[in-house]
A and B are shown apart, each in its own frame.
Chain A
Amino acid sequence: MEWRGWAEIVFTIALTVAVGWPLGIYMARVWAGERTWFDPVLRPVEAGLYSALGIDRGKGQGWLGYAGAVLAFSAAGFVLLYALLRLQGQLPLNPQGFDGLSPHLAFNTAVSFVTNTNWQSYGGETTVSSLSQMLGLTVQNFVSGAVGLSVAAAMARAFAADRGETLGNFWVDLTRSTLYVLLPVSIITALALVAAGVPQSLLANVTAKTLDGADQIIALFPVASQEAIKQWGTNGGGLFNVNSAHPFENPTPLTNLIEVVSLNAIAFATVVAFGRVAGARKEARALISAMVILLSLGAAAIYAAETLTPQPAMVAAGITDAPANMEGKEVRFGAAASAVWAAQTTGTANGSVNSMHASYMPLGGGVAMFLMQLGEIVPGGAGSGLYGMVVMALLSVFVAGLMVGRTPEYLGKKVEAREIKFAMLAVLILPLAILGFSAIAAVLPVALEGLLNKGPRGLTEILYAYSSATGNNGSAYAGLTANAPWWNTTLGIAMLLGRFAYMVPVIALAGAIAAKPKLKPTAGTLPSDSPLFVGLLIGIILILGGLQFFPALALGPIVEHFQVLAAAR
């Protein structure tokens, strides 16, 4: 541990929030349908889309209509993507001549990109054609992120409404989030990445002669543009197998900083926009504070675990002043930049990596996994982080809010049985999918075939996979060979549950909240913008998350940590 490392962590997180803030102010205008700088160019496009698709932009949808539209759109996206991946061998723009994907891999991949997870059971550069990449995966990179942003917009409107009947129009939210938010930031980021040395090419492989005369085939892609939306859409699916550890995806510390900031800024921006639309700016600041504190704690814990835990191999070799654990980390980034990326990517439902989490010390990887198990809310995925955090805020207010002697309220909305029902339905999905699938996989021989390790590490591989899938994160703990029917199928189901079995109750929750009268705060109202509330929220998140997953974590990373300590003694 050194001060530079800590400074790097603090600087990165601060910069992320600083970028997210103005973006959030802008996003609030986009959600509200107000004028923006891009209107001269984008208004005609937007209007053309609406008239071509027959969308009445003024027509609001109730929660059922909104949820129905989300599901219909996602289902259509899945079918198209599945077909594209299966048939890519017969389709053009396939310079490397890849075959179509197997049914289970195509299912897993299509689900993965439609659910904004971007779990990849395959190596990108050796599996997916340029057409599939551009027309399939990239399209979903944009629109799956925009779906999350849309639901966040609906949630914001629900809190603003006073006995409201509608949540807005999903098709309009989707279009505007894509056109006005994700597209511009991606273009700007892509240009910046190109300037910083990231390749952007439509050519197939380049063959180079190595120093000892062998032929080396170097895969080329339009990397910079993919990279931009991979990060901004909280997608995380890399073109290359090793993701942002690959020198084409992430060549320098500068590109690393650009990428790690663009990975997370949208989540903070969503909260800022929520605060503005819901008329709760102070309360939104409290949510951001809680996110920043938890994220910083996560990054600090990973960094500490990577630098302080004694490494048995080093101890055995008689090296007492071993530096940070550098296994699986890029030397050009170092331990701190890797730690902060690991925390940001697991806290964000992004899942792109610049180092291999499986090579972390047990607690380092364990913290990354725990950040996902919290439900991807610190600060969470595009849109999804916000609504996940709102669910936690509602539960916090409900549990502790009674202690001020009133039926709890959050942002002027009473929290009653209906809200608690939907909130609990949503949060139940996490233990059900993560622990449920893990427990089955842990005893199923066909599942265990894909496992590299036994013991606690093997269990961590299983838990990590289902945590990543359910949290719609997409990062992986290497060691698990997931491209097999069992894993592709169950991980796909976990992703669907984590996305839609969570999102639909959340939209129903938004509907219930919108329908309530908007109350003015009084001296008797639980303040939801104070440091006390931030502390309460953090406490509830950690206790609820911890209580669910502590036994499983004890058998995985925690016991491994103590074993490492014992071995290094």
Chain B
Amino acid sequence: MSVSLARSGAFNQAVIMTALKSAFTKLDPRALAGNPVILATEVVAMLATVSAAVAITGGQPAGFAIQIAVWLWLTVLFANFAEAIAEGRGKAAADSLRATRVTTKAKLIIDASRNAIIPTPAHELAPDDIVLVEAGDVIPADGEIVEGVASVNEAAITGESAPVIRESGGDRSAVTGGTTVVSDWIKVRVTSRPGSSFLDRMIAMVEGADRRKTPNELALAVLLAGLTLVFLIAVVTLTGLGAFSGVSLDPMVLGALFVTLIPTTIGGLLSAVGIAGMDRLLKVNVLATSGRAVEAAGDVDTLLLDKTGTITFGNRMAVEVIPAPGMRPEAALRAALMASLADETPEGRSIVDLARGLGVTAEIPSGANAIPFSAMTRQSGLDYDGKDAGKMSWRKGAVDAVIRTLDLSEAQVPAELRQAVDAIARSGGTPLAVSENGALAGIIHLKDVVKPGVKERFADLRRMGVRTVMITGDNPVTAAAIASEAGVDDFLAEATPEDKLRIIRAEQAKGRLVAMCGDGANDAPALAQADVGVAMQTGAQAAREAGNMVDLDSDPTKVLEIVEVGKQLLITRGALTTFSIANDVAKYFAIIPALFVVSLPALGALNVMGLSSPQSAILSAVIFNALVIVALIPLALRGVRYRAIGAAKLLSRNLTLYGIGGLIAPFVGIKLIDMLVSALGLA
């Protein structure tokens, strides 16, 4: 899907054509009911059309009236187009998803004891049905593996073509309808109802079929409706005040004044901004169940992060080998390498990698005997009969286990090594002892390695007021060491899934919004409780249903990007609102003198832009008002860039750009349009 999204993301022609079409269908006033600003614009456009028609039939000069009417309609169309193009990008993504939806026959097991199977259409499956899926079959519905293990290609959902292992029991037992079993077979208990599968939900989300106003959109809509009313009052009362002053006012011009004053820019782009926010999440392969969740992401105060996978790489890695006294460092390193050559665990591989990085390499000698790790000995290694060179043996393992095998007492261990072991433990690392031919060779320092760049991102988050809390099952010492290395604000050691839920509730009690990600079934309650719960696509079905976002890449660090997308959404909304309101100042200086100058020539002094004629001034303001919507569509879709520079700096930056800029831009724009309009003789 990531592939198809990348294709549909651009302004491709098909998306634009569809959007143009739906810009017209959205002219239906019922479609605009939720958007008072644009609805008001449409009403004025209708009245202007009638008045232009009356002028034409009455044989009066109607050129000006027709142009005003046309531009008012264009204002509505541009706003509709902005919304349609935002929706269109989602629709294109949804279509590519829909293409992967399956209509195969499922192998429904009707009698488990005899493995009796009836081929059944996928859409007739009900929850708790058990189906058999074999190599080459498409999984017919979302479900839980009850038996078997198989590799599954989930490219249809994630865009990732490498198959993943799915097995019964544990957190990797969830399978998604529409994905394909590549090898082996599994029995799946269906968990979704027809039409409400994960794929269906994804399509619905991407299409924005269930798009309700978010709390902040609602508040903004109230403000915009209020401003519309204020300007309605200001314009309607002008008729009375004008009559007193001996000014005759053309209703058409009053309508134009009204439309230019009401916040059409943000009113026209508001829903596009919201949809584009979800779209930007989709681009990073995250699905949000609602716009509300995206908005909440921007508001997050506390981020709960699992240590493993998010802050550190999943595994401990060797970072150093401390040689025993009298041993050359290379010799100790070689001993560690030999002890690890046969060890395929990530920890073992990291020791090999460390040695290679330092220029020490070796192959497993032929005829060598690998000694696997056992819970009894708690060590592993390699034995090799070098014939002439004599018998060689290397071991590595838990320090106390190796020492016991070597029959050493605590006191016989060299002081340097004892201190090294203590230092490693204190720093939160894990010490391993290495022995060569029955003698202690050195200590390996295994460490949880913090992912590069994580610390900087946490610092960015802190500057934006987001606290990071690391959750780990480690003991407090280890946890504290990693916490300070990663630069998180707080940590919880020896944590259980219940602790997560408790922390979230405690933070929320203080009025804070909490985000977390999780994949295990036991994360589900916490995911549901969190304001932003990001479930991993590879995670348990319960987790995927509990969260309000799903990360298709199953990358827990994604939550940081989600927060940024949320913030970007809110910033874009604020910037456009500020810009929209600031624009009004210039529009007044264009229209007010134009309205009154014939009857009250003294007000010509307010024509600071030196617009060529009253009609041209009004037309230019209306044209500017319409064009600015189009000009800002890319900004609405792309979003204002988010910078982690702290609230005060961000405000001053954006206020200068969109507040002061919003004051100045229309003076320039209207003047330029006026020059064009008068040069073309339009008014």
Contacts and interface: CB of A to CB of B under 8 A. Distances in A.
Contacts of A424: 222-223, 225-226
B189 to A, nearest CB: 41
Interface string A539-569: 1000100111111101100110011011000
A550 B247 contact: no
B546 interface: no
B592 interface: yes
Given A543-B581, A555-B245, A562-B602, A523 B238 contact: no
A543 B582 contact: yes
Contacts of B642: 405
A253 interface: no
Interface string A409-436: 0000011110111001101100110011
Q: Which of B510, B574, B578, B588 neighbours the largest number of chain A CB atoms within 10 Å of its CB?
A: B574
Interface in B235-270: 235-245, 247, 261
A416 B647 contact: no
A414 B531 CA distance: 16
A402 B510 contact: no
Interface string B620-641: 0000000000000000000010
A525 B647 contact: yes
A559 B651 contact: no
Given A405-B642, A406-B298, A424-B223, A400 B578 contact: yes
B585 interface: yes
Given A443-B240, A552-B238, A532 B655 contact: yes
Given A435-B233, A436-B233, A551-B241, A403 B651 contact: yes
B465 A522 contact: yes
Contacts of B238: 439, 551-552
Given A405-B642, A519-B511, A554-B592, A435 B650 contact: no
A522 B222 contact: no
Contacts of A456: 245, 600
B226 A455 contact: no
B659 interface: yes
A414 B513 CA distance: 12
Given A403-B578, A555-B241, A519 B512 contact: yes
A40 B274 CA distance: 61
What is the size category of the interface that chain A forms with chain B? Answer: 35 or more
A459 interface: yes
Contacts of B229: 428
Contacts of A554: 592, 596, 603, 606
Nearest to A535: B655
B655 A398 contact: no
A558 B465 contact: no
A214 interface: no
B84 to A, nearest CB: 24
Contacts of B241: 435, 438-439, 442, 459, 551-552, 555
The main secondary structure of chain A at its interface with chain B is helix
A524 B466 contact: yes
Interface in B289-309: 295, 298-299, 301
A517 interface: yes
A53 interface: no
Interface stretch (B44-52, B114-122, B211-219, B361-369): B211-219
Given A518-B511, A543-B584, A546-B585, A402 B571 contact: yes
Interface string B561-600: 0000011101101110110011011001000100110001
Interface string B203-233: 0000000000001101110110110011101
B35 to A, nearest CB: 16
Contacts of B578: 399-400, 403
B658 interface: yes
Interface string B428-450: 00000000000000000000000
A550 B651 contact: no
A533 B220 CA distance: 20
B218 A417 contact: yes
A496 interface: no
A289 B222 CA distance: 29
A524 B222 contact: no
Contacts of A440: 240
B584 A547 contact: yes
B652 to A, nearest CB: 5
Contacts of B21: none
B418 interface: no
A420 B659 CA distance: 20
Contacts of B316: none
A536 B603 contact: no
B298 A405 contact: yes
Contacts of A400: 574, 578, 651, 654-655, 659
Given A405-B298, A455-B245, A399 B647 contact: no
A530 interface: yes
Contacts of A455: 245
B648 interface: yes
B237 A526 contact: no
Nearest to B239: A439
A527 B654 CA distance: 14
A317 interface: no
A532 B570 contact: no
B500 interface: no
A230 B150 CA distance: 88
Contacts of A526: 647, 651
B596 A555 contact: yes
Given A399-B574, A552-B241, A523 B463 contact: yes
The 9 A-B residue pairs whose C-beta atoms are closest, nearest first, are A524-B465, A402-B574, A439-B240, A522-B465, A517-B511, A405-B567, A424-B226, A562-B602, A442-B244
15 contacts: A398-B219, A399-B223, A403-B640, A405-B650, A420-B220, A427-B226, A431-B233, A431-B234, A438-B240, A442-B240, A517-B510, A522-B301, A532-B652, A555-B245, A555-B600
Interface of B: 215-216, 218-220, 222-223, 225-226, 229-231, 233-245, 247, 261, 295, 298-299, 301, 462-467, 510-512, 566-568, 570-571, 573-575, 577-578, 581-582, 584-585, 588, 592, 595-596, 600, 602-603, 605-606, 640, 642, 646-648, 650-652, 654-655, 658-659
Given A403-B654, A565-B602, 13 more contacts: A404-B650, A404-B651, A406-B647, A420-B220, A431-B237, A459-B241, A462-B244, A536-B659, A547-B231, A551-B235, A552-B238, A559-B596, A566-B602
